[in-house]
Structure 1
Amino acid sequence: MRWQRLFAELEAEFDAVEAAAERAEAGSRRRAELGAVRLAERLAGSVGRPVSLRCRGAGEVAGTLTDVGPDWLLLSDDVHREVLVATGAVLSVAGLGRMTAVPAPDGSVRGRLDLRRALRGLARDRSVVQVLLDDGSASVGTVDSVGADFVELAEHAADQPRRAGAVSGVRTLALPALVLVRTLAPGLD
């Protein structure tokens, strides 16, 4: 009888030590997994939710998060304008849900849709946009071209389409200084 009780006590003690080690390992594993999550993945888990961003040079930018790329995110603001935000300009985010998206596999098409490609889409569409830079300055016009580290914007009035007579000049903007690009509807903004 005494031996059975001794073995039972030893087994219970071993189980307790093993459970404590497993709990410690699980916590450590969770911290390591969280340490590998990038901001884009954290944001992608909240697509469809209203968020508020604090951005360098632009202050608070709010809207519904509609899409996330490797170095950009897309919001729809309260008047249904699209706002393309450079992730590098984001200082803080409020309104994220508890979900985090699974990272895209290396080499996936989605992972290659960077800010430059998004801006090239705006150039193709010939959309009238407002561009905000990290110094707080703003320019209005149409994206003409996108280089490796710059954007060329044909400046013209927001209520004018891009026509040679309406263009007051072409401004070359350094891509690292770009905070956000907001689409404007001619005659409405």
Structure 2
Amino acid sequence: MRWDALFADLQARWEAESAAELDREIAEAARLEQSTLRLADRLRGHLDVPLSLRLRSGQTLTLTPQLVGEEWLAGTDGGSGLVVPLESITVVEGLRRRAAAEASRARRGLGIGAVLRAMARDRAAVTVMAQDGAQLAHGLLAGVGRDHLEVLAAHAGEVPRPRGQDDARVVPFSAIGLVRADVAARL
């Protein structure tokens, strides 16, 4: 009978070690999967979920993501549409442990210029803020190049029109901390 107890003990130890090894393998697989996730994937898994963002400027805002590119986030914060370069974000609160990869290769390749061009096409009134929080431009989003945008100054009560070279502000994408579009205002 002692042999039965010895074999039962060895069997229990072997099963415990096998279970522990499986737990270690699962934990390692989870760490490996986590290491491949990008912030964009995490944000894409939270579309239509209000998130708190702190920006390099120190500003904190609540944004509900609607579109997420590889390098930018677009959504609303109530009455305004926002486009935020991911490099401007220092902290995100409200993310749960879920993520979603961009399924479409075409959409995956869209840079911040694509969403800004759509806003320009809609004649959006925008305020462009720098990463330090300073206002860079305010007015009609008139054009978007490969690496910059152009804003025509808006004067009270009039529709911005090109009057000369001094009327437009050109802002490189690398300087942008936030683009705020007044959802109600189209010029």
TM-score by length of 1: 0.85
Pair 1:175–1:77, CA change in 2 (3 A): same
Partner of 1:144: 142
Partner of 1:175: 173
Query: Deviations for 1:15-44, whole angstroms, at most 9, x for unmatched residues?
Result: 111111111121121112111111111111
Query: What displacement does 1:56 show?
Result: 1.5
Partner Cα distance (1:6, 1:123) in 2: 78
Partner of 1:52: 52
Partner of 2:68: 68
CA contact (8 A) 1:133 1:177 kept: yes
CA contact (8 A) 1:153 1:170 kept: yes
CA contact (8 A) 1:132 1:178 kept: yes
Partner of 2:107: 110
When the two chains are superposed, the root-mean-square deviation of aligned CA atoms in Å is 2.4
Written as runs of structure 1 = structure 2, the 5 A alignment for 1:88-127 is 88-101=87-100, 103-105=101-103, 108-127=105-124
Greater CA drift, 45-54 or 6-15: 6-15
Q: Which amino acid aligns with 1:148?
A: R
Matched, 1:24 2:19: no
CA contact (8 A) 1:40 1:68 kept: yes
Partner of 2:33: 33
Q: Which runs of 5+ in 1 are unaligned?
A: none
Query: Deviations for 1:156-176, whole angstroms, at most 9, x for unmatched residues?
Result: 237543323599611111111
How many equivalent pairs are there? 184
Matched, 1:15 2:15: yes
Query: What displacement does 1:125 show?
Result: 1.4
Q: Which runs of 5+ in 2 are unaligned?
A: none
CA contact (8 A) 1:54 1:93 kept: yes
